[in-house]
Structures are given as C-alpha cells and as structure tokens.
C-alpha cells in the first residue's frame, strides 16, 4: 500500500486541515451545524499525529507532520517524522515526493477513494451538506461541546474498501479522523488540540482515548 492510497492519508486529506474557531454553547448538534462550524477558507494548516497499525508491523507506526490547504486549492500532507514525505492532491492527481527519489504520480481517476477525498473535502470546507451527501451518508451525534460526525460511503465500490469515517470534535475544532476500513483495524489521525495533547503519548489505547475526546490514560 502506497502513502497516497493509505486510509489515513485519504481521510486526513478529506478533513485534516480544518482549524479551530470560536466555541459555541453546548447543545445537540446536527450535521449542518457541525459542517458550518468546521468550514474554513484557504489557506489553512494544522499539525497531526497519526498512528498506523498493521499485522506487518511489530508496533504501530507513529507519524507526525502538518496538513495544509493552499489558496490555489492544493491539499498537502507533509510528514516530518519518522521520515520526510510530501503528498499533494491537485489537478486530478496525487504526487508523492521523498528526498532522493523521483516524484510518484497517481491519477485520481484510477483511485475512487482519492476522488471521494477531493469531493468530500471541498464539501467540508464549504459547509455544504448536500455536496457531501453525493459521496457519503452523514450522521451526527453528541453535543456541540463534544460531537461526532459519521460518513458512510454511498458508492458500493468505495464501501468495499472503506466501511466508514468517524470525525470527532469539540465546538468548532475538528480533533480526530478515524478511518474504519472494510478489513483491518481503524486508523486514527489526531489534529489540532488532540495532536498537541498526544505529545509524548505512545500507547495506542491512550491515543484512541484522545481521538474519542477523552484524556490519555
């Protein structure tokens, strides 16, 4: 699996660039309220901590870096540790770059998941529920102080690889994206305040607790 097709990358590029704003009062949220709260114009950026689990790894791989959305519409995922890598979605393709290697280019038309990323991310930034629903069924829960937004793929082809996406947030801050592939463990990307709270935290269970809105144990 390449960096550009990894579930966490797809999902974090979908929603990982949304930064916090003012915190509203506590009351039950709806999907429209959440989308309006997290919508952000470009340029925007946020740090992330990502945990990848795989049977092929002796221990989960922890990645740290930054997501950016540029004014020209490019979506950029820049990994700083434990290696350096930049992935850019723009102009119908994903470009993966590492020092000392030729850039790897992947046409989005060949990867339905990445096409869904572009459509869904644009809808999130615009706060457009109807546009988001072209790709996902949307379910909201929790309170405005601590909410969840569940995205269920509508396209059967996408659903064969992705069961759902769970977004966790507080007020106007999107704090975690949790991808549930059709097979295998969930993949989590902590952002903004949750990424800051994850500094020095290594245990998967503790990072999962931070993702879901609690404190690391």
Sign of CA dihedral 164, 170, 174, 175: negative
Q: Say yes or no to pLDDT of 122 above 90.
A: no
Q: Order the strands of the 85-90 sheet from edge to edge.
A: 104-107, 93-97, 85-90, 75-81, 61-69, 44-52, 187-191, 173-181, 162-170, 147-153, 136-142
What does the pLDDT average to over 63-77? 87
Q: Which residue has the higher pLDDT, 127 or 45?
A: 45
CA distance 176 to 167: 6
Write out pLDDT tens, residues 86-101.
999 888 888 999 988 9
CA distance 61 to 74: 26
pLDDT of residue 3: 45
The residue behind tokens 């572009």 is 118
Q: Residue 94: how many CA atoms within 13 Å on its side-chain side?
A: 25
* 216 pLDDT tier (thresholds 50, 70, 90): low
Q: Say yes or no to pLDDT of 14 above 80.
A: no
Decide if 108 contacts 93 (C-beta within 8 A).
Answer: yes
pTM of the model: 0.80
DSSP state of 109: G
């Amino acid at each position: 699996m390449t960096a550009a097709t990894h579930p966490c990358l797809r999902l974090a590029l979908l929603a990982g660039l949304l930064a916090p704003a003012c915190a509203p009062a506590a009351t039950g949220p709806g999907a429209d309220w959440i989308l309006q709260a997290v919508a952000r114009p470009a340029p925007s950026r946020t740090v992330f901590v990502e945990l990848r689990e795989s049977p092929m790894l002796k221990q989960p791989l922890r990645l740290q870096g930054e997501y950016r959305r540029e004014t020209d519409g490019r979506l950029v995922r820049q990994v700083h540790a434990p290696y350096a890598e930049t992935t850019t979605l723009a102009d119908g393709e994903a470009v993966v770059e590492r020092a000392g290697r030729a850039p790897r280019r992947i046409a989005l038309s060949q990867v339905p998941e990445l096409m869904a990323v572009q459509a869904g991310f644009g809808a999130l930034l615009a706060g457009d529920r109807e546009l988001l629903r072209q790709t996902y069924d949307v379910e909201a829960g929790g309170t405005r102080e601590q909410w969840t937004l569940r995205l269920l793929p509508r396209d059967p082809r996408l659903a064969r690889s992705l069961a759902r996406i769970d977004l966790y947030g507080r007020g106007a801050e999107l704090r975690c994206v949790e991808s549930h592939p059709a097979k295998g463990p969930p993949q989590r990307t902590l952002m903004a305040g949750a990424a800051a709270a994850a500094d020095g935290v290594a245990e998967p269970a503790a990072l999962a607790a931070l993702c879901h809105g609690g404190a690391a144990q």
